[in-house]
Homo-oligomer: A and B are copies of this chain.
Amino acid sequence: MSAVGFTGGTLDRADRLRHDPDALAAAMRDPAARVLDLSPDGVPMVTDGRLGWSAMPAGEVALLGLDGGRPRFAALAWAGEGVPFRSPTLMAALASLREGEAATYAAARSLIQWHGRHGFCGNCGHATAPFRAGWGRTCPQCRAEHFPRVDPVVIMLAEHEDRVLLGRQRSWPAGRYSALAGFLEPGESIEEAVAREVAEETGVRVADVRYVASQPWPFPHAQLMIACVARAEGDAITLDEHELEDAIWVPRQAVAEALANEGGAFVPPPPYAIARTLLERWAAA
């Protein structure tokens, strides 16, 4: 069974350095300090399963953390959208990384994207500037402080008589089905967001929501994927065709076969996606 994607990072985030300008300046001058190598469209440079690192650049940087005491940074100059997760170049780079390395990439990419989209103050419209070693931005006009955003997303399997409910979006690769998912909204618990999303997308009512696992997801911006299983109270599907192209109930054996690449009912979600972890754990339960 695969580990949860984008987890297992080994950098010490060194929160104390973010609050200590002198210590941060010393870390930036440290001869061992390095900045993460990314292509112009946000793909990590990988050698022998490890992320590539370069000498410190001239522009703005964010402190990713310490690797055995050696400071590691991300350059904030890159502010494009970056390649999507499904880019073959990015998929190949991620597939070649050792465990834990992708977590560092996810943190860096999330932080860079957030700075790129938040150069101005939501409160007053003035240009903002990074502070706290790149883990925030302040507004010189209204003094508002802004911190990197992480959007919680619920992703879930409804189960009914040893089958799970999978959906597909029109834009996905042929044959791909995966767990339903959606953004958690203000004023909701995880359990309530799971029930609302499943009902909205398929008309299926669920109860007994159980948490399974979580992962950070940096595409196209920082999300926290919260994976759950829930008991469906019935199996009649009323599809929301704006959200999904199709939704199907898949028996446990067919899920196991699809994960084992033995063809069958559907093409499962790719490595790194927590939907795959969720299906693996459900199929093995």
Contact = CB atoms under 8 A, between A and B. Distances in A.
A150 B184 contact: yes
A213 B110 CA distance: 26
B120 A192 contact: no
Interface string A133-174: 001000000001011111110000000000000000000000
Looking at A111, A148, A190, which has the most chain B CB atoms within 10 Å of its CB?
A: A190
6 contacts: A107-B188, A120-B123, A149-B149, A149-B151, A150-B184, A189-B216
A196 B110 contact: no
A151 B136 CA distance: 14
A96 interface: no
Given A125-B126, A126-B125, A187 B222 contact: yes
B119 A120 contact: no
Given A121-B120, A211-B211, A222 B186 contact: yes
A124 B9 CA distance: 33
A42 to B, nearest CB: 14
Contacts of A146: 122
A178 interface: no
Contacts of A190: 214, 224, 226
B214 A191 contact: yes
